[in-house]
Structure 1
Amino acid sequence: MTTEQNNLVYVGFNSQVVALDKHTGKIVWDWKAPKGRGYVSLLLLDEHQLIASVVGYTYSLDALTGKEQWFNELPGYGSGVVSIAALNRSNPHDTLVAAASADAAQAENVQHLSHFEK
Structure 2
Amino acid sequence: MNTADLVFVGFNRRVAALQRQTGDIVWEWKASNGMSYVSLLLDGGTLIVSVNGYMYGLDAATGRQMWYNPMKGYGTGVAAMVSVKGMSSNPTAAAAADEAARQASQNSTTATSTT
TM-score by length of 1: 0.73
Residue of structure 1 equivalent to 2:70 = 73
Greater strand proportion:
1
Q: Percent identity?
A: 46
Any runs of at least 4 consecutive aligned residues in structure 1 with deviations exceeding 2 A, and if so which? Answer: 83-87
- Aligned-pair distance for 1:87? 2.3
Decide whether the 8 Å contact of 2:37 with 2:77 is kept in 1.
Answer: no
Q: Please, what is the CA RMSD of the aligned residues?
A: 1.9
Q: 2:55 aligns with which of 50, 54, 58?
A: 58
- Aligned-pair distance for 1:83? 3.2
Residue of structure 2 equivalent to 1:10 = 8
TM-score by length of 2: 0.74
Larger radius of gyration: 2
Deviations 1:48-76 (A, max 9, x none): 21100000200000000000000000111
Q: 2:22 aligns with which of 18, 21, 24?
A: 24
Deviations 1:69-118 (A, max 9, x none): 000001111112223354223231426xxxxxxxxxxxxxxxxxxxxx54
Residue of structure 2 equivalent to 1:87 = 87
Greater helix proportion:
2
